[in-house]
Amino acid sequence: MRVMIGMSGGVDSSVAAALLHEQGHEVVGVTMRLWGGESDTGCCSVSDVDDARRVAQQIGIEHVVFNFSDEFDEHVVQPYVDAHQKGITPNPCIECNRHLKFERLAERADELGFDAVATGHHARIGAHANGRLRLERGADLAKDQSYVLHMVTAEGLEHTSFPIGHMTKDEVREHAARLGLRTAGKPDSQDVCFVSRADGREHFLGNRIPLRTARVVDRDGTQVGEVPSVEMVTLGQRRGLGTPGGGPVRYVIGVDASSDQPTVIVGDADDLLVSSQIVHSMTWVDDAFEGEALAQTSAHGDPRPCQVTSIGEREVQIDWDLRSTRIAPGQSVVLYDPTNTWVIGGGIAQRSPL
């Protein structure tokens, strides 16, 4: 089988490529050049591309670089900036997976006559009783990445491979060490690749949009502080709100960045809790779903029991079994079956009413 594997320069994709080669497949490693600006984080730095190329040489497979920088700017970077300007907290890594690491890479693989696309994600592909494929959590729950892959459909899974999904992270590193791969001890990437550690998010956004001050008010509308950049504020935040010390702890429960006078609304811990959440732009691994599920609201968050009800095209309401913390609008909500084994689908949190 001809397999195109995305190689980010990290240990997971390195071992995934090695395993496929060991299994006798015709493997070509591909590194996507996504971000053309400065990068000292994530999977877009020059050193990461070099690591991927050298690992491919060690394994004995061909390696190529695809330049998808225009698509990356269109589908990931610009939406990231636009979201912050609207007071929304985006999830750029999920959009990168959606548009580049799966959709665009799959298109290119099909154009070039490959049978499948592989990645180094910690996730597994299983099957329902009727034979339909499903996306399952990785064997190493501490490293499970099914949350960020929720947009991959059952049809897409037919041409997808996750070679290390059955392995723990320690096993991946041990395999890399046995092969002498240069990435065996390389730390995991944690940051947004186009926001450098040296300059940070505020510098990145400030070079692209005007950052605006905002009043910080309580639920009665009384001003209690001020923030220099409303675009930097997110739901649940409790620091950097310009409020006087010594008073009650206040949390951000709402952000209004749409007007000429941006406003941040704060409240107490109980104000952060809600009974339901609207989720839009839903995608389903298989069929649309209603009923009992578990909802995960961050990459490594704890799944919480809920009831899912369809309220419109690609829109659902989640009713929590127990009141739950508000989700920052723009963040992904991913649904799992009640056994917490496989992904049902996912979407984007809508702003909750106060």
Kindly list the catalytic residues.
Answer: 96, 193
Q: Which residue pairs, CB below 8 angstroms and at least 24 apart, start in 47-54?
A: 47/9, 48/8, 48/9, 48/10, 49/9, 50/9, 51/9, 51/10, 51/14, 51/182, 51/183, 51/186, 52/7, 52/8, 52/9, 52/13, 52/14, 54/182
What CA–CA distance (Å, rounded) separates 239 from 183?
37
Count of residues making up the chain: 354
CB 17 within 8 A of CB 61: yes
Phi/psi at 270 (5° precision): -70, -30
Q: Provide the sign of the torsion angle of the four alpha carbons 5, 7, 12, 18, taken in this order.
A: positive
What CA–CA distance (Å, rounded) separates 161 from 111?
18
Which residue, 149, 155, 157, is CA-closest to 345?
Answer: 149
CB 60 within 8 A of CB 14: no
CB within 8 Å of 177: residues ≥ 6 apart = 184, 185
What CA–CA distance (Å, rounded) separates 270 from 198?
36
Which residue, 351, 10, 316, 66, is CA-closest to 189?
Answer: 10
What CA–CA distance (Å, rounded) separates 70 from 258?
28
Neighbouring C-beta atoms of residue 178, cutoff 10 Å: 11
CB 344 within 8 A of CB 337: yes
